[in-house]
Structure 1
Amino acid sequence: MSRYLLILFFFLQAFSSFGQFLIKGKVTDAETGDPIPFAAVLLKGTSTGQNTDFEGFFEIETSVLVDSIQVSYLGYISQSKALSQTNEQVVNFQLRPADLELETFVFEAGENPAFEIIRQVVTRKNDFDKRQLEAYQTSNYTKIEIDIDHLSESFTNRRTVRKVTSVLDSIRQLTNDEGEKILPVFFSETLSKFYYRNNPVLKKEIVEKSKVTGVGITDGSTTSQITGSAFQEYNFYKNWLTIVEKEFISPIADGWKTFYDYDLMDSVLVGNDSCYLLKVIPRREQDLAFEGFIWINKNTYALKQVDLTIPKSANLNFIERIKIQQELVPTSAGPLIPSKTRVQVKIGQVTPKTAGLLAKFYTASDSIILGEPQPTAFFNNAVELKPDFGDASEEFWAANRVDPLSSEELSILQMVDTLKKIPIIRFYSEGLKFFATGFLPVGKIDIGPWTEFGNFNNVEGLRGGLGLRTNYKFSNKWAFQGYLAYGFVDERFKYSVSAKHILDRKRWTTLELKSSREIDQVGLEMESLEGNSIFLAASRFGTLRRPFLSTNQRLTFQREFFKGFLFSAGVNVAQFDPLFDFYYREKDSGDLKSRFETTEVRTGLRYGRDEIIIINDNERASFGPSRWPIFEVNYAKGLQWLGGDLDYHKLNFYLYQKLNMGLFGISRYEVDAGKVFGEVPYPILKNHLGNETLFYTTAAFNTMNFNEFASDQFVSLRYRHFFEGFLLNRIPLIKKLKWRAVANANVLFGSVSDQNIENVPGIDPAGNPIETLGRLDPNKPYVELGYGIENIFKFFRVDFIHRMTYLDVPEANPFVVKVSAQIIL
């Protein structure tokens, strides 16, 4: 009897198992290979199904097996696949993006029911905005991949490209039979700790481990600082999100109704939370706004997850799509922190014969800790690398990744490593770096900048030169740099040599000694342009205006005492040897002199509250401020008792800020003010920079002539506004061109004291007339107003600028047209 019961038991078990079917799989984007979260997976003809998770996986159990399974998601072409009659099977889907625009929904009676949901979300924003937390920290894993896509036939048939693809034929293609070929060029993984504190808002990321591989990447220390989570933050509780240097309006911004329509699609279960599913539709297709889906918790009205896209129709250049997917989790205090974020940026072909670019970012955060804020000094460096950040085995990464690398990602690593070794790739990648940075690395030495290799002007004639500098491989405490140049007409050598000792990298502290002898021009202030080698080279080309030979010996000390607060001090000994007709009247004797020496003691303060700074090898690099202005105050004292010919004081104040004006675009302003105390030759004064060229520049007064005015006390305001399509997007024919209106205003108040006017003689010792000093009326500002169009054919800008005052000055230009070329998104 027991034997029959045993047989019956196994029969019932088999029957039970036979009656349950398991279908699982993954849904990915056919073009990018990335997972598609939140897609609807349904057994065809039934109501049985589920949504994919953030990694694109699904798993359905059913007692009744139908003949096919279907996947659908907005923005993609739906797809069905046949099911086999087996108890367990894996069915993967690769969906192709659909060329569809979201529709605008019209509600004929009553208010759109989605509007009340959005009102509740906006009302409760402060309850869930992570910026309300006093302090928190997270453990983050970040993954970045950059691929070349849009591999057109004309591109792949190029001789240099064929050399690459022939080497890669042995590697499995990174696509499937429904996708497009891609060529990966960069892949990175980063494990880090992220810290945040409020009042004041301070952020810091400590990179614990980082692995970077990419074409042209020779040293991962700099790259590792910008591949962490600090640069991949997207908070939809902010009204505006900054992405690729543009401001995008959040779907739950305070002014949501101006920019968006919504449709209440469904009530769905996400995890254990019942949520409203809302479709987001921009009111105007060219606005910098999102389309897609947001999930709102029914009980709390908090964001649960988002899947939003900036469409190709938005007023952006080259970018075909920006897609952001995000899951949020509540903290114990209430505000939400993103647990997973995935971003795709797809850049189209500049021309039909070139390739496109696809950048993919993934960040996962866990181990969220709320507690007491770290001290302010802790945030001195926005990004910090652990000493052993680059030392980690494959076993370590396998054990510490949030998710294991897919087979596609493993193939990407193999392909990038192969690409790096191909000679033609190395040649082009090093060549591009050489052009962009100006230097060519050769072991522990960099050769350059290339802008010093050759030039031509009316003073030097043909000029040749060569420069060298040490790099991080030579030392992380000492940096040496120098160049030597020779003019074949003036038959003079020019040079610059410097030695810098880095005393403290954490609180950036340096001591630098520099000696130079170079051609300068009155009003250009080349000392402040040392970081821009291309502009310096251009300023030494052609006709030099009021040139002089400048000899300098300088000792400078710098230290960052706390985050954003940089102190500098030093001594500068300089000689001014004019190469044009210049004389000044000596204060004591009244004699006319043409050359002079100065000995200056200098000190300066710079403060950028939220300026992001990284350490690029042995230099500091700024990513600019996010919200708060940057202040600078500099003071110099000219001393006769230390060997100088002049005794004076110079005080200068500078302020810069970028303003997000919301719907109206972005503004930038600069305030520059200064005063010179004492009787000095006019090259010591502020010689306001004019622009007689055809090209527009923000560094000069564009209707002012070279050396037209100088001041010993002044204050100026430069204001630039970028409408970002606000005006022209509303004109039916113009908006298709994606032109953008710009405006600018420059205002200058200045004056020169009588003693400095008398210092400038009108004739030389032989009685010949010489150039004199142009002065401004202290009660009458110099004003120029401009307007223009940028983004013409995606590259060009035209400005129309009116000179509003000082029109009676000889050779004044009341109206000028300036052009410029730029690469903007």
Structure 2
Amino acid sequence: MKKYLFNKIANQNISNTLRMICYLLISVVAMTPIFGQQTKVKGKIIDSKTNEAIPFVNIIVLGSKQGIQTDINGNYTMDIQDGQATKIQYSSIGYKTEVKTFKRDVSQTISIKLIPQSQNLSEVTVKAKKDKYRNKDNPAVVLIRKVIAHRDENRKEGMAFYQYEKYEKIQLNLNNIDEDYKKKKAFKNFQFIFDNLDTSKTTGNVSLPLYLKETVADVYFRKNPQEEKVYIKGEKKIGLDQYIDNNGIASYINRLYEDINIYDSNISLLTNQFISPISNLSPTFYRFVILDTLQFQNMKCVNLGFSPRNPTDFAFVGNMYISLDSNFSVRKVKLGVPRSINLNFVNELLVEQEFAPVEDNKLMLTKDEISIDFGFSKKENKRGILGKRSVSYQNYVLNKPIENSIFKPIQKNVLMDMALNKGEDFWANARHQGLNNVEQGIYKMADSIQQVPAFKRLMTVAGLVLFGYKDFGDFEIGPANAFYSFNPVEGFRLRFGGRTMAKLNPKLYLETYAAYGFKDERWKGYLGVTYNLGNNSIYEFPNNYLRASYQEEVRIPGQELQFIQEDNVLLSFKRGVNDKMTYNKIFRLDYRHESRSGFSYELGYKNLTQEAAGSLKFERYDISNASPDTPLYNEKDLTSSEVSVNLKFAPNEQFYQGKNYRIPIINKYPIFQLRYSLGIANFLNGDYNYHNLTFRANKRFFVSPIGYTDITAEAGKIFGTVPYPLLMIHRANQSYSYQLESYNLMNFLEFASDKYAALFVDHYFNGFIFNKLPFIKKLKLREVITFKGLWGGISANNLPENNLSLYRFPQAADGTILTNSLANGPYMEASVGVSNIFKVFRIDLVKRLSYLDNPNVSEYGIRGRFKFDF
């Protein structure tokens, strides 16, 4: 077998695209130097054709046993131990071997451009075409198919039960710190932070530690029914909660650094899905090559290299050690990503895992490390964030039954009591390995920097710019983006407000604002009082509070935007006519209760009085003698009085909690919401009896390798007879931004229903098509397609032409009816978009597919939005 493998390797002409995956393990043997001075060589190895870095290049000091490999970025640094050696050999499968002479007893830089073998014209023959990479009769592909065939028996999820303790450490550093950077004026009052610099042992890069998070947890798994629960016993992170949502940042970092299971078909990493090198589809998407046979953990293994056939696909480059026994198990794996991949803000990524036998020789993870170099520029020595995650495992217990009570919680991650408040005695015993001096210094630096007045001023300004609030300690003023706005009814509008914080009273919170429109010359405002029933701030998850509020405000009917406020200045710019609005007087009493299990509920009472504003009118016939012959009159206002219950089930939901909104961190888990409202006539001036029931579900589906799909389904029904302001007025969008859950070519008040079903489908290709097009692929653009469909209708008793006591639908000046039912079929629109423009912008061409004859509608439109994603 061995002879057959090496004969095949010797005759195999490796393709140019394998240059990123070559890896030969060289043992490092320390040699005693003859001369007193040190010989040091460093440099970078790049491809002579593409100028891209080549990782895992084998570098050997000729005449000695000393050797190393380049890192994922093609860099290397080595101290020459052999005092007689003068030459270094650089080799990588797929490239011509180079030999360079170095000078002894000095430090020097030797960077090499390796020539791909396909460029070496003297070696090109008529047989070259026969040596083209293929799966057939390829021993590397034969081997990976055996690994795939044994995947289910080798993965830990093949066991009936398992449990272990996991200790995780995540650290973020600002890299490439030099003397000039430390002397910047901005750090004049913070020089002490540079007392805790971290120097890489392999690259010599100096970085400044910024963030540290530790977690210790017990993990339990059962196969039938398959469930995994993680009981978090302790969690510790730097304390900057006064300025940022520390828990939200931790959630986002956890999303970036998800557990990687090499045996999964698709691997989640950096909010994307990568094809695993041992997926069933891997022979289609990867090239494999046998690099060597070796001994590892007393087991004969094959070192198998791999890289994506198309270097722009979401796939890995790296190598793995495969045991040459009947199990064909993975003993060690190293994963990186090609630099040409369509991945934002990531310069380098490296995953290293090792498996070792524990009970009954079952292989389990013993080493699990991820390092990611984040940055806005891929140029060398540019500053960015270096993120490192290391996980250790111990106390494995395999195939022993686990009590059912362990799996009773709904959520996967269970935060145990006092897990966030463990003392140093707990951590001294819980850590699998103690913190080094740099890691200890991160906690100390975080505590010290918050005492510096200049830092407090800096964070205050940052809070105003990023979150819209100016912090005064006991209270905040904001949000700044709502201070100024305009609309056709109010004209120029000014608003000013603020709210108290937990420092003033952790149980009682006040929030208020006042606004004035210079055209309608009317005051608006809000006053809310919240009593906190939980132990944390009301601006932190999970919420548990009782709130009473009163608001007078102007709104466009049917517009309830998510995450942003209607009087945000950016939403003041709208297309078309949008002067039909209502003045609203709203009294609310709400109780909100959230839990980490994923189940939450809200109980509420709302009294809403609507008054027509602008060109909108509440017109109807005399109720006592309603007929087309009687004159119309304008109703002054409409009052609804309703109680409601809102249920939400969102297992494993994650989000970043902002100052005045939440940004969801979308994962693979579904979210379900059910809302019921009861309108009561003659209770606190309520005008109508009705029932309103709505259901909503949304989920992300990963469809590797062609991206992912977000699907939202929604349905609702109103029981009772109500005028159009109490119907479901469907969410329209007349701004120039693309709104995910509004209809972007629908006009305000254009459609209303008392029964409806809606479907939103957004598919993100992540550049799957553009990455294969010459020239365009260099722009790292991504494709998006969407479809939005709305089915509905209005019952006969809620149509004004059938019930003359109801308000007439809004009309234009020429008498054209502007509000319609969906009796003639669904409203549909679709769009094709290009995202990742300058890494943060998306533009869509939207086409309206139905109801094209309605007045003042556009068949096509161009919309844009900002989106930050990896």
Residue 288 of structure 1 is matched in structure 2 by: 314
Counterpart of 1:685 (choices 718, 723, 727) is 727
Q: Distance in 2 between matches of 1:740 and 1:763?
A: 41
TM-score (norm 2): 0.76
1:460-515 alpha-carbon deviations (Å, 9 max, x no partner): 4332211113338843xx35241121315334141130314436999968352321
Structure 2 stretches lacking a partner, 5+ long: 1-22, 33-62, 84-106, 119-130, 627-632, 801-805
Task: Check conservation: 1:206, 1:384, Cα contact below 8 A.
Answer: yes
1:432 aligns with 2:432: no
Q: Distance in 2 between matches of 1:95 and 1:115?
A: 39
Residue 480 of structure 1 is matched in structure 2 by: 509
Counterpart of 1:502 (choices 533, 536, 539) is 533
Task: Check conservation: 1:215, 1:420, Cα contact below 8 A.
Answer: no
1:463 aligns with 2:490: no
TM superposition shift of 1:169? 6.0
Assess, with a 3 A threshold, how the Cα gap between structure 1 residues 495 and 538 changes in structure 2: closer, same or farther.
farther
Assess, with a 3 A threshold, how the Cα gap between structure 1 residues 554 and 382 changes in structure 2: closer, same or farther.
farther
TM superposition shift of 1:639? 0.9
Assess, with a 3 A threshold, how the Cα gap between structure 1 residues 183 and 417 changes in structure 2: closer, same or farther.
farther
Residue 787 of structure 2 is matched in structure 1 by: 745
- Report which stretch shifted further, 496-505 or 215-224: 215-224
TM superposition shift of 1:655? 1.8
Counterpart of 1:187 (choices 212, 218, 221) is 212
Task: Check conservation: 2:147, 2:329, Cα contact below 8 A.
Answer: yes
Query: Within 5 Å, which residues of 2 pair with 1:331-730?
Result: 332=359, 337-350=364-377, 355-370=383-398, 371-372=401-402, 373-380=404-411, 382-384=413-415, 386-387=417-418, 389-393=420-424, 397=427, 400-406=430-436, 408-409=438-439, 423-443=453-473, 445-460=475-490, 461-471=492-502, 474-475=505-506, 478=507, 480-487=509-516, 489=518, 490-502=521-533, 510-526=544-560, 529=562, 531-533=563-565, 538-539=570-571, 545-559=579-593, 563-580=597-614, 581-585=616-620, 589=624, 590=626, 592-608=634-650, 610-613=651-654, 626-643=667-684, 644-730=686-772
Residue 139 of structure 2 is matched in structure 1 by: 113
1:391-445 alpha-carbon deviations (Å, 9 max, x no partner): 433x764554323444554566666666555554443344334444444555454
Q: Distance in 1 between matches of 2:31 and 2:534?
A: 72
Secondary structure of the 2:28 match is strand
Matching residue's letter, 1:245 = T
1:323-365 alpha-carbon deviations (Å, 9 max, x no partner): 1111234564887543321111112235989732211111112
Q: Distance in 1 between matches of 2:810 and 2:250?
A: 61
1:792 aligns with 2:834: no
Q: Distance in 2 between matches of 1:567 and 1:587?
A: 42
Q: Distance in 2 between matches of 1:377 and 1:537?
A: 47
1:86-140 alpha-carbon deviations (Å, 9 max, x no partner): xxxxxxx999999989999955896221212211221222223334455543322
- Report which stretch shifted further, 320-329 or 125-134: 125-134
Matching residue's letter, 2:829 = E
- Report which stretch shifted further, 209-218 or 119-128: 209-218
TM superposition shift of 1:261? 0.8
TM superposition shift of 1:806? 1.5
Q: Distance in 1 between matches of 2:444 and 2:31?
A: 43
Root-mean-square deviation over aligned CA pairs:
4.2
TM superposition shift of 1:683? 1.6
Task: Check conservation: 1:69, 1:80, Cα contact below 8 A.
Answer: no
Task: Check conservation: 1:497, 1:514, Cα contact below 8 A.
Answer: yes
Q: Distance in 2 between matches of 1:157 and 1:296?
A: 50
Counterpart of 2:69 (choices 65, 72, 83) is 72
Secondary structure of the 2:352 match is strand
1:170-210 alpha-carbon deviations (Å, 9 max, x no partner): 66674679633323222233333334455363533414252
Q: Distance in 2 between matches of 1:160 and 1:565?
A: 45
Q: Distance in 2 between matches of 1:417 and 1:784?
A: 53
Task: Check conservation: 1:225, 1:614, Cα contact below 8 A.
Answer: yes
Q: Distance in 1 between matches of 2:524 and 2:856?
A: 36
Q: Distance in 1 between matches of 2:240 and 2:531?
A: 30
1:215-252 alpha-carbon deviations (Å, 9 max, x no partner): 98678666667777995411122111221211111111
TM superposition shift of 1:743? 0.8
Q: Distance in 2 between matches of 1:97 and 1:410?
A: 37
TM superposition shift of 1:667? 0.9
- Report which stretch shifted further, 165-174 or 776-785: 165-174
Query: Within 5 Å, which residues of 2 pair with 1:24-35?
Result: none
Q: Distance in 2 between matches of 1:522 and 1:147?
A: 47
Q: Distance in 2 between matches of 1:558 and 1:96?
A: 64
Q: Distance in 1 between matches of 2:810 and 2:662?
A: 47
Assess, with a 3 A threshold, how the Cα gap between structure 1 residues 96 and 541 changes in structure 2: closer, same or farther.
farther
Q: Distance in 1 between matches of 2:426 and 2:111?
A: 37
Q: Distance in 2 between matches of 1:111 and 1:777?
A: 61
- Report which stretch shifted further, 624-633 or 813-822: 624-633
Residue 51 of structure 2 is matched in structure 1 by: none
Residue 5 of structure 1 is matched in structure 2 by: none
Residue 13 of structure 2 is matched in structure 1 by: none
1:320 aligns with 2:306: no
Query: Within 5 Å, which residues of 2 pair with 1:211-360?
Result: 211-212=237-238, 232-299=258-325, 300-329=327-356, 332=359, 337-350=364-377, 355-360=383-388
Q: Distance in 1 between matches of 2:444 and 2:233?
A: 24
Q: Distance in 2 between matches of 1:365 and 1:177?
A: 25
Assess, with a 3 A threshold, how the Cα gap between structure 1 residues 474 and 441 changes in structure 2: closer, same or farther.
farther
1:201 aligns with 2:235: no
Q: Distance in 2 between matches of 1:103 and 1:482?
A: 69
TM superposition shift of 1:636? 1.3
Task: Check conservation: 1:266, 1:276, Cα contact below 8 A.
Answer: yes
Secondary structure of the 2:533 match is strand
- Report which stretch shifted further, 645-654 or 167-176: 167-176
Assess, with a 3 A threshold, how the Cα gap between structure 1 residues 600 and 119 changes in structure 2: closer, same or farther.
same
Secondary structure of the 1:818 match is strand
Secondary structure of the 1:144 match is strand
TM superposition shift of 1:260? 0.5
Q: Distance in 2 between matches of 1:800 and 1:429?
A: 39
TM superposition shift of 1:629? 2.7
- Report which stretch shifted further, 279-288 or 324-333: 324-333
Q: Distance in 2 between matches of 1:537 and 1:383?
A: 41
Task: Check conservation: 1:285, 1:313, Cα contact below 8 A.
Answer: yes
Assess, with a 3 A threshold, how the Cα gap between structure 1 residues 559 and 331 changes in structure 2: closer, same or farther.
farther
Q: How many residues align?
A: 754
TM-score (norm 1): 0.80
Task: Check conservation: 1:211, 1:390, Cα contact below 8 A.
Answer: no
Assess, with a 3 A threshold, how the Cα gap between structure 1 residues 473 and 583 changes in structure 2: closer, same or farther.
closer
Q: Distance in 2 between matches of 1:598 and 1:108?
A: 71
TM superposition shift of 1:600? 1.1
